[in-house]
Amino acid sequence: MNVTATSVWNNCLAFIQDNIQPQAFKTWFEPIKPVKLSENSLSIQVPSKFFYEWLEEHYVKLLKVSLTKELGENAKLIYIIKMENTYGNKEPFTERIPSSNRSQQVAPQELEVAIKSKNPELKNPFVIPGIRNIKIESQLNPNYSFDNFLEGDSNRLARSAGMAVANKPGGTSFNPLLVFGGVGLGKTHLAHAIGVDIKDKYPERTVLYISAEKFTQQYIESVKKNTRNDFIHFYQLIDVLIIDDVQFLSGKSGTQDVFFHIFNHLHQNGKQVILTSDKAPVDMQDIEQRLLSRFKWGLSAELQTPDYETRVSILKNKLFRDGVEIPDDIVDHVARNIKTNIRELEGAIISLIAQSSFNKKEVTLELAQQVVEKFVKNTKREVSIDYIQKVVSDYFEMDVATLQSKTRKRHIVQARQLAMFFAKKFTKASLASIGSQIGKRDHATVLHACKTVDNLAETDKQFKKYIDDLSKKFS
Ligand SMILES: Nc1ncnc2c1ncn2[C@@H]1O[C@H](COP(=O)(O)OP(=O)(O)OP(=O)(O)O)[C@@H](O)[C@H]1O
C-alpha cells in the first residue's frame, strides 16, 4: 500500500483517539491536516501558534509514540502554522516549526516578560509565542474594594456573586458574571473589587481589567499591524478577564468575533470572565446572538438604584473615610434629593465640603440646598436614541413610525437625518447601532445623514433653525 502523509496521519489519529478523551480529540486533533511526508518527516498543519504550543505542552509524548510506530525511531514531526495574514491583500502564509521533542532549536523557553506601565494603558499587550510565564499588570484600582462597596438591597445579589467569584474564580456557575445597571451605580467599582480580591487571594493568577473600548482599540491596532494572532494569544493566557462596558462592542462585529473566540477559550479552560454593561443582555442592541447567549451562560446580576438607607450609608462611609463630619440633616438632604446615581451623590457631598472649606463657611442646610440644587440642575440628562426620535418626531409633528419608514418624502428624510445626527452627537452609540435603531438603516446611511446635516446647516437657513431649536430641547 502506498504510504502517504494522510495514511500515516490517519494511523496516528486512530492511536491517539484511543488514548485521549473524545472532546480533547475533537478540539486538538480533528482540525489538524496532514500536509507532506518526506522520508521519515511528517508535516502537519495546525490552525495557530497557540495550537502548536498546546500540542507540544500536552500531547507531545502521545504524538511521539504514535509517529514512531508509523515511521520508526527517527521519525520527525514538523508543524506548519497557518498564519492569518489576509489583511492588506496578502495571501495567508505558513510558518514551519519542528517539534521541540525532535529538535532542541525551538524548545520553549522559560522566560518571563513583565509588562508594566504607570499609565492605565497596556503599552504592549502582546507576548511572544513560546514564552510561558508572563506577568501582566492587572490595571486594577486598589481603591475599589469590597470593603468600601457598601451593601444594600439594590446590589446584594451582584455583590455576593462577586464575592463568590473572588473566592473561587472559574469555579462557580457564575461564569461569566455579568454585572449590569445604569450610569454611576457601581459597575466599575464592583468589577475592580472582584479583581483586587482575587489578586489578594491568588497572587499567582493573571488578572486583567480592561474597558471594552480599550480592548477594541487594541484589536484594531493588531489588525493594522498584522498581529491579530498575538492579540488573541495574549488574551487566551489570562486567568481572570474583566471587561468593563461590554455594550461598547455593539455594532463592532470584528471585535465581537475575536472576543467570542477568546471567551470560548477561557471558558472551556475554566478561566473566569467578568463583564459589566449598562444594559441587561436582552436589551443589548447590535451584539451578535451567539455572544449574547454566552453572556447568559453564567449569572447576570443587576445593580439597581440604591434605596434611601443605602444612600445614607454610602455618604456616611465616604465622610468617615475622608475624616469629615457633617450633621445628619445635611446628609439626609443630599440623600433624599440625589437618588439615581451614586457618582452624583458622592459628587454633591464633595462639592459641599469643598465649598465650605474654600469659602470658610459652615456646612449648613442652606448651603447643602444650594449645592444640591446646582448639582441636580447641572447634571446632564442621559439622552437615549428613543428619546431623540420622539423629540424630533414631535417637533416635525409626525409619529416615530413615520420617521423610521422607508419613504423618500423630503421632510421625512430630513427629520430622519436630524435624528441620526443628534443620536451621533448626544449618545455613545456607534453608527451601525444608530442606523439599526432608526429605521434599520446601515452605518453608511447614518454617516451620510450626519454629513448632509452639517452641509445644510451652512447653506440652508431654515434647516439651521431646525437644528438650533432641537439642540435647545436636548441641552
Ligand atoms: N455600593 C457602593 N458603595 C460605595 N460606593 C459606591 C457604591 N456603588 C458605587 N459607588 C461609588 O460610586 C461611584 C460610581 O461608581 P462606578 O464608577 O463603579 O459606576 P459605573 O456603574 O461603572 O458607572 P458608569 O456607568 O458611568 O461606567 C464610584 O466612586 C464608586 O466608588
Predicted confidence at residue 378, as pLDDT, reads 55
What fold, for 138-303?
Rossmann fold (3.40.50)
> 94 labelled as ligand-binding?
no
CA angle 102, 108, 111 (to 5 degrees): 160
Q: Say yes or no: CB of residue 346 within 6 Å of ligand 1.
A: yes
Instruction: Please tell me the pTM assigned to this model.
Output: 0.59
CATH code of 385-474, in short, is 1.10.1750.10
ipTM of the complex: 0.98
Ligand 1 atom 8 nearest Cα:
186
Residue 423 C-alpha to ligand 1 middle, in angstroms?
Answer: 26
Tens-digit pLDDT profile for residues 279-311: 888 888 788 888 888 888 888 899 998 999 999
Sign of CA dihedral 151, 154, 157, 163: negative
Query: In this structure, are strands 299-303 and 177-181 parallel, antiparallel, or unpaired?
Result: parallel
Cβ-based neighbour number of residue 171 at 10 Å = 12
| pLDDT band, very low/low/confident/very high, at 467 (cuts 50, 70, 90) | very high
Please give the C-alpha separations between residue 412 and each of 186, 188, 196, 230, in angstroms, as whole numbers: 41, 41, 52, 48
Cβ-based neighbour number of residue 73 at 10 Å = 6
DSSP string, 24-78: HHHHHTTT-EEEEEETTEEEEEES-HHHHHHHHHHSHHHHHHHHHHHH-TT-EEE
Map out the domains of the chain as residue ranges.
5-102, 138-303, 308-378, 385-474
CATH superfamily of 5-102: DnaA, N-terminal domain (3.30.300.180)
Q: Which residues contact 359 (CB under 8 A, 6 or more apart)?
A: none
Per DSSP, helices labelled H in 269-399 are 289-295, 308-322, 328-337, 342-358, 365-378, 385-395
Q: Say yes or no: CB of residue 162 within 6 Å of ligand 1.
A: no
Q: Which of 151, 189, 350 to mutate to test the pocket of ligand 1 (most atoms within 8 A of CB)?
A: 189
Q: Say yes or no: CB of residue 314 within 6 Å of ligand 1.
A: yes
- Tell whether omega for the bond before 31 is within 30 degrees of 0, i.e. cis: no
- Burial class of residue 380 in the structure, from the number of CB atoms within 10 Å of its CB (0-12 exposed, 13-18 middle, 19+ buried): exposed
- Burial class of residue 250 in the structure, from the number of CB atoms within 10 Å of its CB (0-12 exposed, 13-18 middle, 19+ buried): buried
| pLDDT band, very low/low/confident/very high, at 23 (cuts 50, 70, 90) | confident
Residue 331 C-alpha to ligand 1 middle, in angstroms?
Answer: 18
Q: Which residues contact 453 (CB under 8 A, 6 or more apart)?
A: 417, 418, 420, 421, 463, 467
| pLDDT band, very low/low/confident/very high, at 277 (cuts 50, 70, 90) | very high
* Ligand 1 atom nearest to CA at 276: 22
> 195 labelled as ligand-binding?
no
Most distant CA atoms of the chain, gap in Å: 98
From the candidate CATH numbers 1.10.8.60, 3.40.50.300, 3.30.300.30, 1.25.10.10, the one assigned to the domain spanning 308-378 = 1.10.8.60
Tens-digit pLDDT profile for residues 136-168: 788 999 999 999 999 998 999 999 999 999 999
Q: Say yes or no: CB of residue 312 within 6 Å of ligand 1.
A: no
Give the whole-angstrom CA distance, residue 63 versus residue 69.
Answer: 10
Predicted confidence at residue 98, as pLDDT, reads 55
> 188 labelled as ligand-binding?
yes
Domain 308-378 and domain 385-474, same fold? Reply is no
Decide if 449 contacts 412 (C-beta within 8 A).
no
Tens-digit pLDDT profile for residues 184-202: 999 999 999 999 999 999 9
- Cell digits for 401? 413610525
Residue 186 C-alpha to ligand 1 middle, in angstroms?
Answer: 3
Residue 458 C-alpha to ligand 1 middle, in angstroms?
Answer: 42
Q: Which residue has the higher pLDDT, 382 or 69?
A: 69
Query: In this structure, are strands 76-83 and 93-98 parallel, antiparallel, or unpaired?
Result: antiparallel
Cβ-based neighbour number of residue 67 at 10 Å = 25
Q: Does residue 10 have a pLDDT over 60?
A: yes
